[in-house]
Amino acid sequence: EEQRRRLQDRPDQPGSPRVLRIAIIGAPNAGKSTLCNQLLGRKVFPVSRKVHTTRCKARGVITHEDTQLIILDTPGLTNPLKAKRHNLEETMLTDPWDSMKHADLVLVLVDVSDHWTRNALSKEVLKCLSQFPHIPSVLVLNKVDILKKKFLLLEIVTDLTEGIVNGKKLEVKSALKNDSSSSTKSPLQVTRCSPPESRTPESPCGQEKGQAQKGSGLGNSSGVKAAKSSPVTEEAQGPKQYGPKDLRDMKGWPHFQEVFMLAALHGEEVDTLKQYLLMQAKPGPWEFHSDVLTNQSPQEVCDNIIREKVLEYLPLEVPYGVTQVTEMWEEGECGELLIVQNLLVPRKSHMRMLIGKEGKIISKIAQEAGQDLMNAFLCDVRLKLRVEVKG
């Protein structure tokens, strides 16, 4: 009830409100929801090692002083064939596009620990960016802590940006590959890969230039520098329109304004990205009351967290066929939340897998989901799960 009232309340506008709507897009399992949770400071979006954990677009709200950031967490960009394989709703295909229509800034998240995909943006991501070339975009490299050979970051950045950041051409010295300090364990620092002279005074990356050179492997010693030719600025030409033939030949996007590197799971450098986002906000009215953290209902948060655990503990494609039905949602005498949810599966074999030997799997799911719900709702939660065969 309190959440519903907050969402219905008129926003408590400050004297000079600022706002920024941020769409986070990327391939499935790049870490979008993990990054959203870290930016918000609370777990309100489901995360899992399996793809397609996020099934619909949801909004997270960060209110800091006179600024409100509205984060649009979206399903991973996929195609109709993969959507059919995972029994995904039609909204899984359309929600990322809808989020882009309402965004002031887009973050493109790339998992650099996946050596199969890290050197090229997916065709779905490139298609999305090409449809909205007027929206400023930022490249965010995630899971950098897992990458042992840090010198590979330069190659990845060059590929994903087509060698251009903020209208400046980049050069990478091949000598970097002989850098023995590439596997340093020093804390990762965020840097922008555009040349130093293109940094704006208000940019947090510019302020941390010294730290970035020390920790990220992308400072002056990294071999990234401006080419001698004149920079190609988007302001002069305007964003280029890309057709299907252009996209076929592209690995990256040459219109990123910034490049950030972080480890969302551990929160490394997330605050630096957050400070950058706050500075990008423009004058405009708030959309939500300052007490709102997400536009999701408590029931949606509950469903998402339980589904996250089911995805973690069931093999392969099995969890994507589970249907959730909430049987009870009540507040107890001492203020605790009492929840009973049925998990409907298509086959008896799936039911046996979900229950586990002596009920160990379903008990573990209920225990872990209950703990996450207590952290999300800040109250005691008693969760009971039942497993049944559909029909």
What is the reported pTM?
Answer: 0.74
Which 3 state secondary structure label does DSSP give 218? coil
- Dihedral pair phi/psi, residue 28, rounded to 5°: -55, 140
pLDDT at 79: 43
The beta strands (E) that lie in the chain are given as: 18-26, 58-64, 67-73, 105-111, 137-142, 164-165, 168-171, 225-226, 256-261, 282-283, 323-331, 337-345, 381-389
pLDDT at 271: 95
Which 3 state secondary structure label does DSSP give 95? helix
Q: Single out the residue of 48, 50, 52 nearest to residue 37, CA to CA.
A: 48
pLDDT at 215: 37
Strand order in the sheet with 164-165: 164-165, 168-171, 225-226
Long-range CB contact pairs, 370-373, < 8 A, 24+ = 372/43, 372/305, 372/308, 373/301, 373/302, 373/305, 373/337, 373/339
Burial (CB < 10 A; 0-12, 13-18, 19+), residue 154, is buried
pLDDT at 83: 43
Q: Distance between alpha carbon 345 and the CA centroid of its chain, in Å? A: 29
pLDDT at 42: 85
pLDDT at 255: 94
- Which domains, from first to last, does the chain contain? 1-172+243-283 (3.40.50.300), 298-389 (3.30.300.20)
Amino acid letter, residue 351: M
CB of 53 closer than 8 Å to CB of 46: yes
The beta strands (E) that lie in 99-136 are given as: 105-111
Packing angle of the helix pair 298-313, 360-377 (nearest 10 deg): 150
Q: How many residues are present in the chain? A: 391
CB of 170 closer than 8 Å to CB of 225: yes
pLDDT at 108: 94
Positions of the chain with pLDDT under 50: 52-55, 78-96, 174-237
pLDDT at 158: 94
pLDDT at 254: 94
